[in-house]
Amino acid sequence: METGKVVNVQGLVEYQTGSVVSREIIRQKTGTVTLFAFDRGQGLSEHTAPFDALVHLLEGEAEIIIAGEPHLLKAGEMIIMPAGRPHTLKAVERFKMLLVMIRS
């Protein structure tokens, strides 16, 4: 992706029926920035990450469970998932999110 250029972030990743689509925007030793588009009902199974992860919903609705505690997020909302804590994501409605992971 070209730096110093204004882009519409929601247009950088498109929904695909029955799928989760991702596009990495930045990859550095200190962390990553990735866009995701989840079709309704799609998700990621429980896993952990080695760094803190900020999820910002750009559109739609998602359920994010962190260490057994469910959180319902809607467009414009965000949550921080702490490093090393198990979490899962599921599309209540199709949604797009920006994931920012920063090494602890």
* Rg of the chain (C-alpha set): 13
pTM, full prediction: 0.90
Alpha-carbon span 100 to 47, nearest angstrom: 16
pLDDT digits (tens, 9 = 90+) for 13-72: 999 999 999 999 999 999 999 999 999 999 999 999 888 999 999 999 999 999 999 999
The pLDDT confidence band at residue 104, using thresholds 50, 70 and 90, is: low
To which residue do tokens 């070209």 refer?
A: 2
Chain centroid, CA 18 distance in Å:
17
Q: Is 62 exposed, middle or buried (0-12, 13-18, 19+ CB in 10 A)?
A: buried
Task: Please choose, from the candidates 78, 17, 21, the residue with its C-alpha nearest in 3D space to the C-alpha of residue 53.
Answer: 78
Q: Which domains does the chain have, with CATH numbers?
A: 34-103 (2.60.120.10)
Separation between Cα atoms, residue 4 and residue 31, nearest integer Å: 19
pLDDT exceeds 90 at position 79: yes
